[in-house]
Amino acid sequence: MSFTTRFAPSPTGHLHVGHAFSAWTAFQAACEADGRFLLRLEDIDTVRCKPEFEQVILDDLIWLGLEWEEPVRRQSEHFDDYARVLERLRALGVVYRCFKTRREIMEDIARAPHGVGEVYRGPVEPMSADEEAERGAAGHPFAWRLSLDRCRDALGARYDAMRFVEDGKGERVADPEPLGDVILARKDVGTSYHIAVVHDDASQRISHVIRGEDLAEMTPLHVLLQTLLDLPTPVYRHHRLLLDENGERFAKRNQSVTLKSLREHGVTPAELRARFSG
């Protein structure tokens, strides 16, 4: 498979210096490998994502000097594909409807013998399939969670054998246990970042996922989904996060470091890129 990577911003705000570093890192890697660079707009959150942010993101990336293959993939145009993925996971019997409120979940976690942080490890007594279906049909709100117990049962030895290659660092064990039973879809939004990203990385034939180390903890979950769905596992590279003068991560809410405002203040792309080294 030829080297193909992507930058996948969510148009919920303007891009900041940290995003620019991420986009540039992926773009440079594609150039160095004489590979392909794709752009994907992760806009499944139709409430927070706005077309005006999308336009500014495209302008920012052009200003930065990036070039990508057309067409740009918009996840909001592929909800049917993600619904099909959820259907497959249901058919495999590895997801369950969770009707608990956030408060009930916190109580369950506090009661669990080895409760860690906010990780939910699933119900102590699983609800019967009939009751689950009945409550769903009665319109109670719920979230679809991936049951690690059921994944282990469904995959057998393949569960413990899950691995991925961390670019430049070799093979890593993919252990999703620290994440617990993650939400894969809500009743109102029939998908999640996890389903959409795993589906799209496969359908866009991404060979190398290059993204910030803040997402590294999700990679074992993505490898688990790939294993369940018989999808290839790309190579992963989790790059360092760029920090501001105060040693803090750049955040979308800090308007002063958006690429838009830097552009408007006459900063050149070369000046910005100079901040990426070191």
Residue type, 5: T
Name the token pair of 156. Answer: 């057998």
Compare residues 142 and 250 and give the one whose CB is closer to ligand GLU: 250
Choices 8-16, 135-143, 151-159, 174-182; region in contact with ligand GLU by CB under 6 A = 8-16
Segment 182 to 211, residues that bind ligand GLU, using CB under 6 A: 197, 211
Torsional sign, CA 220, 225, 229, 234? negative
Compare residues 43 and 147 and give the one whose CB is closer to ligand GLU: 43
Compare residues 10 and 258 and give the one whose CB is closer to ligand GLU: 10
Classify the phi-psi angles of 138: left when phi > 0, otherwise alpha if psi is within -120 to 50, otherwise beta: alpha
Choices 6-14, 31-39, 227-235, 254-262; region in contact with ligand GLU by CB under 6 A = 6-14
**What is d(CA 79, CA 76) in angstroms, rounded to the nearest whole number?**
6
Host H or E run for residue 53: helix 51-64
Torsion of CA 25, 28, 29, 31, to 10 degrees: 160
Preceding omega of 71 cis (within 30 degrees of 0)? yes
Compare residues 185 and 197 and give the one whose CB is closer to ligand GLU: 197
How many residues of this chain bind ligand GLU (CB under 6 A)?
Answer: 7
215 near ligand GLU, judged by CB under 6 A: yes
Name the token pair of 65. Answer: 């000097």
Compare residues 9 and 269 and give the one whose CB is closer to ligand GLU: 9
Q: How far is the CB of 127 from ligand GLU (least distance, A)?
A: 32
Residue type, 4: T
Site mask for ligand GLU (CB under 6 A), range 23-42, x = bound:
-------------------x
29 backbone dihedrals φ, ψ, rounded to 5°:
-60, -40
Q: How far is the CB of 202 from ligand GLU (least distance, A)?
A: 13
Q: How far is the CB of 210 from ligand GLU (least distance, A)?
A: 8
66 backbone dihedrals φ, ψ, rounded to 5°:
-85, 150
Which parts of this chain interact with ligand GLU (CB under 6 A)? Answer: 8-10, 42, 197, 211, 215
